[in-house]
Amino acid sequence: MTDTHAAPAAHVAPRERGGNGVGIASFVTACLGLGPVAIVLGIVGLARWRSGRASRRSWPLAGLVLGVVATLVATGLAAAAALSVTAPAAVTARAELDVIAIGNAVVDYSVAHPNGPAPAVTATPDGYEVAGTSVPAELEGSWTPQLRGTTAYDWCVALEFETTDGMAEVGYSASAGLVAACPPA
């Protein structure tokens, strides 16, 4: 006769009753937008659940997922904000391109009309107009072009524009080309 013995049941640690404090903290920090903190707490909460020290997986998992989402959203918003702010030097460079284009249009007009009156230079919604010739703008925001001088040899186009530091001016002179500013009218 053979005696059979039942193998003792493997000891499984019972799960703790109640929630998972670390998991709940992960969820709350994710809702507050503290994504990296929520990710760390979510990982710790899931580790506690796997080892049997916590009874619920839902709180740390939700905190982990929301933490990742919050981190991605915050990174995207920060990148968008950084890209939307145009440095004053970049704005000035665009203004210089515009004033050169306007100056070239004035030169073209002066060559075609050497004894004619000074051309009218005006701002349009999408750029500038020099004696009926459209000149597209590189500059964004508000700007004011002005032609100073009366003959084909003494004029200067002044372009006043807005930067984050306030109003600025660049100019294009018939004799000197690109200048920091035109002499007063």
pLDDT in tens, the chain (185 residues): 566 655 555 555 555 555 688 889 999 999 998 889 999 999 998 998 888 888 888 889 999 999 999 999 999 888 887 776 567 778 888 999 999 999 999 999 988 888 888 899 999 998 999 999 999 998 888 889 999 887 777 889 999 988 877 889 999 998 888 998 888 87
Burial class (CB in 10 A: 0-12, 13-18, 19+), 72: exposed
Six token digits for residue 23: 């998991």
163 strand-pairing partners? 166
pTM score, two decimals? 0.55
Six token digits for residue 91: 């704005």
In what order do the strands lie in the sheet containing 127-130?
121-124, 127-130, 133-136
